[in-house]
Amino acid sequence: MASLATLPIEILDQICTILSPYRRPYSIRVFKPSIKEEPTKNDHQGTRALLNLCQTSKALCKVAQPVVFHTFFDHENYSTSIPLGFLKRLGLLLRTIAERPELAEAVRAVDVDACERKCQCCYSFDEQVKEQMGWISELSARTALEFNLWHWESREISEAQLQALLVMVPNLQRLNLRLPVTWDFEALAAWVNRKKSETGIAQKFLHTVTHMELGTDTVEANTPRMREDGERDESFKSSPNPVERLLIEAAPNLELLCCTAGGLDDLPRLPSLTSLQVLLHAPWDGMLPRLMEGLPRLKRFSYSALSDYCPTPAEVQDALLPLRDTLEYLCIRTQSHFPEDWVPQPGRRFLMTPLKDFSALRVLVLDGFAVLPHRGVGEMWDSDGELFLDFLPPSLAQLHVSGWNSHSSAQFRPLGEAMARSEFPCLEIVSWFTESDPDGCFFYALDPPSAARYGEGIGVPSDVWRRICDEDSHSFPDWKAAHQHVVSTEYPGLTMVEAQEIFYQLQNQQKGEDEAL
């Protein structure tokens, strides 16, 4: 009879990976951390099963141990019942990998949310702080990180531990961090600069990282200041983020990066970067075009503006012009609305220039006010839909118009007619939201079959579309996949065309009832 010890190494690795709670794929979100869920009971059971395998035999231990140490995950928040679990868990991990460097080589991912820690007025940290303080001194000697422990409390010890971890894991591939704005990683920065001043070459760490998601609690720091007269201070700038900048500069082989604008102030050159999500809270004048010069392989760009002072969609588009032949994915989210005093330039009937020159663009996610044409003061929402056809590149496969503006099906009907005539042969789906609709539908989808059969978009019933809304929180939303998933879940066994027929009947049934009233 076969036993675990006699199974091929490939099968053992698959078994161990299934037992690991942190090897599952997840969606990257605009606001970090991307993984919102706390570990479940089954997750803890899987971890215990892996630990038991490590104690069964040397052969099983050799397979299971790298999976156990693959990911350090901690998202402690105020709902957690155990105070300072992060401090203790990270301390134990550091001791283990310091004594057994081969386990440090097994760490491939670090995912930490350190922004919400328990306060000292509610819990006594003295015992754990004293225990970790002694270990930090020893760790400082091992790593050459110079920590100043004179006035440290629990937060600073956690910060020291995390800095030490980053220099002790040589094979790290994924780094996801959400940090307090008070953390500065001073010891780590000094360690890097000291090596550079001595040899002319910066100390290497994070060189193997290809996936980095950074979030810093900097909203207050980037909130516009108010003048004495009660008006906003227009002179404020985006705050630099030295921690994000330090980590990004240390990872030249990044392929995916999510960060704030403050982490890109030094305009890093990232020749391997293909996906970038930038979160802005404040102005960033002139930085985007210069940043793009150092990202020659960028294919996916997601931009989220959290104030009216950030670069406009047109400015973002102009910055991306050097990538117009290679950019495949573009998502632009803003907090603005259509400016009532905006006057279109000659040949520019949109807030953005038509994207026809972006010959490789496959997916486009934009706010409605930026993508719908302007026909004059007071007429922006009754625009001629034919002008919309001049905006889109022929390579486009997916279009989603975001925002809760009053988009109507009539605005997209010319596009549907063009799809029915095969004028956009690559276009697979167009979707949009409405602010209010008499049919009770707030999410509409238009694809070639519905365009040819009905000539308009099909509204998804309210009890179904709510499951799609979460897609808007993703850094790189895929509205087509979300739409297909929710429809197949709600109507298993039906094709998309069959499900759309049901939606269309419901849609027109409601219209008939409204007309009868």
Task: Report, as an integer, the average pLDDT of 15-29.
Answer: 76
Q: Which range scores top for mean pLDDT: 62-71, 113-122, 375-384, 459-468? A: 62-71
Residues 12, 95 within the same domain: no
Question: What region does 302 belong to: left with phi over 0, alpha with psi -120 to 50, or beta?
Answer: beta
Residues 62, 19 within the same domain: yes
Flag whether pLDDT at 111 surpasses 80: yes
Task: Report, as an integer, the average pLDDT of 445-455.
Answer: 88
Lowest mean pLDDT among 93-97, 205-209, 366-370, 442-446: 366-370
**pLDDT of res. 346:** 59
Residues 106, 51 within the same domain: no
Residues 6+ apart with CB under 8 A from 106: 65, 66, 69, 70, 171
Question: Looking at the domain assignment, is residue 300 inside a domain?
Answer: no
- Helix 41-54 × helix 9-19 angle, to 10°: 140
The single-letter code of the amino acid at 51 is: L
Question: Looking at the domain assignment, is residue 98 inside a domain?
Answer: yes
Residues 145, 52 within the same domain: no
Distance CA 411, CA 391 (A): 13
Q: pLDDT confidence of 459, banded at 50, 70, 90?
A: confident
Residues 178, 137 within the same domain: yes
Distance CA 388, CA 371 (A): 8
**pLDDT of res. 382:** 45
Residues 64, 98 within the same domain: no
Phi, psi of 275 (to 5 degrees): -135, 130
156-166 pLDDT tens trace? 788 888 999 99
Domain boundary among 186, 205, 233: 186
Flag whether pLDDT at 33 surpasses 80: yes
Question: Looking at the domain assignment, is residue 83 inside a domain?
Answer: yes
Domain boundary among 46, 68, 90: 68
**pLDDT of res. 44:** 67
CB burial readout 183-217, b (16+ within 10 A) else e: bebbbbeebbeeeeeeeeeebebbeebbbbbbbbb
The single-letter code of the amino acid at 200 is: G
Distance CA 494, CA 500 (A): 10
Residues 58, 79 within the same domain: no
Task: Report, as an integer, the average pLDDT of 36-54.
Answer: 74
Task: Report, as an integer, the average pLDDT of 211-220.
Answer: 78
Distance CA 263, CA 278 (A): 9
**pLDDT of res. 81:** 43
Q: Which residue has the tokens 């820690």?
A: 117
Distance CA 517, CA 508 (A): 14
Residues 181, 94 within the same domain: yes
pLDDT-above-70 percentage for the chain: 73
Lowest mean pLDDT among 334-348, 359-373, 438-452: 334-348
- Which residues span the domain enclosing 44? 1-68
The single-letter code of the amino acid at 57 is: S
**pLDDT of res. 2:** 56
Could you please report the per-residue DSSP string of 448-484? HHHHHHTSS-EEEEHHHHTTTGGGGGBSS--HHHHHH
Task: Report, as an integer, the average pLDDT of 74-80.
Answer: 59
Lowest mean pLDDT among 120-124, 178-182, 263-267: 120-124
Tally of structural domains, the chain:
2
Flag whether pLDDT at 186 surpasses 60: yes
**pLDDT of res. 4:** 65
User: For residue 276, what are its two tokens?
Assistant: 């970038």
For residues 12 and 59, which has the higher predicted lDDT (pLDDT)? 59
Phi, psi of 160 (to 5 degrees): -65, -45
Residues 80, 53 within the same domain: no
Flag whether pLDDT at 374 surpasses 50: yes
Residues 85, 164 within the same domain: yes
Flag whether pLDDT at 129 surpasses 50: yes
Question: Looking at the domain assignment, is residue 23 inside a domain?
Answer: yes
**pLDDT of res. 444:** 86
Provide the whole-model pTM.
Answer: 0.87
Lowest mean pLDDT among 36-40, 90-94, 322-326, 378-382: 378-382
Residues 147, 86 within the same domain: yes
Question: Looking at the domain assignment, is residue 47 inside a domain?
Answer: yes
Domain boundary among 164, 186, 208: 186
User: For residue 257, what are its two tokens?
Assistant: 């990066």
Phi, psi of 361 (to 5 degrees): -65, 125
**pLDDT of res. 124:** 53
Question: Looking at the domain assignment, is residue 358 inside a domain?
Answer: no
Question: Looking at the domain assignment, is residue 293 inside a domain?
Answer: no
CA–CA distances in Å: residue 496 to residues 417, 429, 460, 503: 20, 12, 12, 10
Residues 41, 93 within the same domain: no
Question: Looking at the domain assignment, is residue 107 inside a domain?
Answer: yes
301-358 pLDDT tens trace? 999 988 777 888 888 898 999 999 999 999 998 866 555 555 656 555 667 778 889 9
